[in-house]
Structure 1
Amino acid sequence: MKAALFLFILFIISATPAFAADGSPAGEANTARIAELYSDLESFDVTLYSTQPEENLSLEALLVSSEGTHEKTLDRQVLLAGSLPANIRATKVGFWNVSNPERGSYTLRARLLEGKQVISEAEYNFAYGSNSASRLQVNDLVPNSQGMSVALSPKEASLFDIEYMLVNGSDVVYTTRTEKLSLTSTPDVFSALWGTLLENNKEYVGRVKIQVYSPQREFISSTERFTARNDAEITDIYEDETGASATVFGRSQVPFEGDLVFSVYELAGASGNGNSGLVESTRARVPVLLNNDDETVEVAWSQRLSEGVYRLEIELLGNDGDIIERRETIIQSDLSPVSNVSQVNDSDNGTVTPDENDEDGVPGFPSVAGITGLIVVSVFLRRIRS
């Protein structure tokens, strides 16, 4: 019994330090830090990482020029890092305000702060206007509500990666990366579509970051601002004397929530070239569309168009009621009123019934029944008299 008690006490004493040792290093490692950073004289980006959620952090970035031992701070940016989720890389982008830059060496100095306490800091050195030009050149950059395209030209054959960034304020809200692209001797255009929803009439920044691997790893970046707009187009229409339809194709990552307006005008004159008068106008809602989505909207006229030539006008209205596109076509109806069976309104139930006294046709059923009744009554009276 004493031996068993001794072994139990020995187990507790030996196990206690082991639990303390496991908890201490884990607590020290759970801190936010600057994982990666890059800068040129136009913009910079800083990637943050934390193994546990963090709140109320800020990021201070300094652009410093160096001439020998002399340093000069050219610009200072402070970005709100906000909330950092655990184990997710978050990238912040800032833009320098530097006029008339000179050739030389520059440094990005970034500090991650919690209040006034420095949690992490890092530096990135780069040169401007050096003789070692990049192997690639950005000729043009066009971001819009669908995505972004960049035109590149090579100075020599190159392999490279392109990272496309959608920036809202200082936050990178969407990024996609294409790797192992190549250019040999001729320029080419590279594109990517946004994979996130955009807000109508809001300004964003499209940014590309290109990484070239040889002879040494280097980066090229370029940015361009744009305003997101809802956009769509009419790709196909159909029309006849009973109704019309239009197919709408989405061309934006801003959700399209517009309308279609179908208006029919009767053209005067046999040739249909005279003035026109509005016959009917119908407005229909377009189902919500995103980029590369399409929907067909159909409408029916309140009554079939009689014989004649008509002008059909279809207007595609955007989220704000603005006219995005207008299409026109002709409807030629061969439906003649003379060829139709004449119709009158039944006053009892409001339905339409055939005319009972068609001059050129066979007498209607009520007339036949009346004549038959008179014949039956006449025969009956003759039998009584006899």
Structure 2
Amino acid sequence: MRGLMGRTAICILIILFAATAVAAAQTGDDAVTEGNITEIYSTIDTCDITLTSSSTIEDLVIDVQLVHEDRIIDRETLNVDRINANSRTIKVIRWNVKTSEDGAYKVLVQLLNNEEEIASKEYGFVHGRQVIPEVVIEGTIANSEGVTAVIRPVKATLVDIDYMLVDGTDVIYLAKDEKISIHTTPLTVHKRWNTLLLNNREYTGLVKVRPSDEVNAIVVTDSFSSMDDAKITDVYKDEIGASATIEGGSQVPFDGYVRFTVYDHDGENVVESVIMRSPILLTGDDETVEAIWENRLREGKYRLVIEIIGNDGDVLDIQETMIDVEKSVTISNDITEVVEENNSSPSFLITQAVLVLAAVGFVLRRRNIR
């Protein structure tokens, strides 16, 4: 009996040790997968850091150091409010380096939670090396619609291109083009921001070009102040009213107005003025806005001015044109009397009928043209 109890106790202890070991292993895996620094890329100007997590974690801090010859030459601390489960968060910082000596640099990144390190990573790069790159970015322009860059090849190669929209230190939009072929002529690339922007906010467009057989990439940035935008693409007008087709040109929602103003021929006196609310427009959206004059325009020539009024009350686009109102042609009962007076002449009746039909056809045709 005592031997049986002893063997039972040993089995229980073995089971407990195994369970403890499994729990410890699972805890260690969670510690590794919750809050990872998966990628770092840095130049002497900027650094982007990609974070991932297998579960939702909050209230994190990133400590980033730029080191050259064992000296910390710049340091940034960023707060990360939240990393959602199975997603990634990208942070971008700008180094404040007054002098940039040639040589090797290191970037040391720590991810902290409640002042406790949960992940760390190191990245090294060389600045100022005398090596001819495979491609050169000639220039970049970012605005509220998207970002455009011109890439000039030094030799034929394949490149991967990242497009980032940065709000402060947060990358709020990321797109990629992979294995883009560049031969002997410059390549212009463009990417639209497929996310909504706030009006009058400072953003930065970032383009990163990485040749397929090089470790280092070329990074350029361009900052801009976001604003709504729209333009007039088509106009119709007559003596009854006018319409304008409006096309959006920004990821800041356009929620403004279209103003139609009719002046006399000399452009001194306002004859009609109508302000219409436009539907909300984003890049590539188009809508037609119509206005009806309070009074039908009389015969004469008029000047029409159509203005797009933006969210801030500024004029985004303007188009001027003319309205030519011709004298209306009316067919009276006198024709019937003429016909009755000339019943004795069939050829005259035929001639008069042809003239009447031609006049009616002319009027209808002119109206359709207008």
Q: Distance between the aligned counterparts of 1:207 and 1:44, measured in 2?
A: 11
Q: CA shift at 1:145, angstroms?
A: 0.8
Q: Deviations over 1:122-170 (max 9, x none)?
A: 1111111112232111110111111111111111111010010000011
Corresponding residue number in structure 2 for 1:289: 281
Say which SS state the counterpart of residue 141 (structure 1) adopts: strand
Deviations 1:51-91, CA, capped at 9 Å, x for gaps: 1111110101111112xxxx111110111111111111111
Determine the C-alpha separation between the residues in 1 that align with 2:64 and 2:261.
58
Tell me how far apart the structure 1 counterparts of residues 109 and 201 of structure 2 sit (CA, whole Å).
Answer: 29
The ranges of structure 1 where at least 4 consecutive aligned residues each deviate by more than 2 angstroms after the TM superposition are 12-31, 338-341
Residue 228 of structure 2 is matched in structure 1 by 230
> Counterparts of 1:229 and 1:323 in 2: how far apart (Å)?
12
Distance 1:158 1:182 in 2: 6
1:42 corresponds to 2:45:
yes
**In the alignment, which of 201, 216, 219 is matched to residue 218 of structure 1?**
216
Larger Rg: 1
Q: How far apart, in 1, do the equivalents of 2:22 and 2:195 lie?
A: 41
Find the aligned partners of 1:200 and 1:212 in 2 and give their Cα distance. Answer: 35
Structure 1 position 275, deviation (Å): 5.2
Could you tell me which residue of structure 2 aligns to residue 270 of structure 1?
Answer: none
SS of the residue corresponding to residue 27 of structure 2 reads: helix
**Partner-residue secondary structure (3-state), 2:87:** coil
CA shift in 2, pair 1:281/1:15, >3 Å: farther
- Alpha carbons of 1:306 and 1:19: their partners in 2 closer, same or farther (altered >3 Å)? farther
User: 1:186 is paired with a residue of what secondary structure?
Assistant: coil
Offset at residue 24 of structure 1 (A): 4.4
- The AA in structure 1 aligned to 2:42 is S
CA distance in 1, matches of 2:303, 2:16: 89
- TM normalised by structure 2 equals 0.81
How far 1:334 moved relative to its partner?
2.1
Cα offset, 1:21, TM superposition: 6.2
Q: Is the 8 Å Cα contact of residues 242 and 290 (structure 2) preserved in structure 1? A: yes
Instruction: Give the distance between the partners of 2:19 and 2:233, measured in 1 at CA.
Output: 68
What secondary structure sits across from 1:123 in the alignment?
strand
Once the two structures are superposed, the pairs formed by residues 65-84 of structure 1 within 5 Å of their partners are 65-66=68-69, 71-84=70-83
Amino acid at match of 1:28: G
- For 1:126, the aligned partner's letter is F
Percent identical: 40
For 1:282 and 1:13, the matched residues in 2 are separated by 88
Amino acid at match of 2:57: E
2:155 corresponds in structure 1 to 156
Match of 1:6 in 2: none
Q: Is the 8 A contact 2:142 2:205 kept in 1?
A: yes
Mapping for residues 308-319 of structure 1, pairs under 5 Å: 308-319=300-311
Query: Is 1:305–1:335's contact at 8 Å kept on the other side of the alignment?
Result: no
Q: 2:142 aligns to what?
A: 143
For 1:163-312, what aligned pairs fall within 5 Å after superposition?
A: 163-214=162-213, 216-267=214-265, 274=266, 276-312=268-304
Is the 1:255–1:288 contact (alpha carbons within 8 Å) kept by the matching residues of 2? yes
Distance apart, 1:13 and its partner CA: 11
The CA distance in 2 between the partners of 1:236 and 1:275, in whole Å, is 22
> Taking structure 1 as reference, are residues 258 and 72 closer, same or farther at Cα in structure 2, changes over 3 Å only?
same
- Deviation larger for 286-295 or 186-195: 186-195
CA distance change for structure 1 residues 138 and 275 in 2, over 3 Å: closer, same or farther?
closer
Per-residue deviation, 1:20: 6.3
Match of 1:323 in 2: 315
The structure-2 alpha-carbon separation of the partners of 1:237 and 1:275, relative to structure 1 and needing over 3 Å to count, comes to: closer
Structure 2 CA distance for aligned equivalents of residues 131 and 157 of structure 1: 20
In the alignment, the residues of structure 2 paired with residue 76 and residue 326 of structure 1 have an alpha-carbon distance, to the nearest angstrom, of: 49
SS at match of 1:89: strand
Q: CA RMSD in A?
A: 2.3
1:182 shift after superposition: 1.4
**Contact (CA 8 Å) 2:267, 2:303: kept in 1 or not?**
no
Could you tell me whether the CA contact under 8 Å between 1:49 and 1:87 is conserved in 2?
yes
More deviation, 25-34/201-210: 25-34
Instruction: Look up the equivalent residue of 2:137 and give its one-letter code.
Output: V
Gaps of 5+ in 1: 1-11, 268-273, 342-386
Do the aligned residues in 1 keep the contact of 2:179 with 2:212 (CA within 8 Å)? no
Q: Distance in 2 between matches of 1:17 and 1:306?
A: 99
By how many angstroms is 1:14 displaced?
10
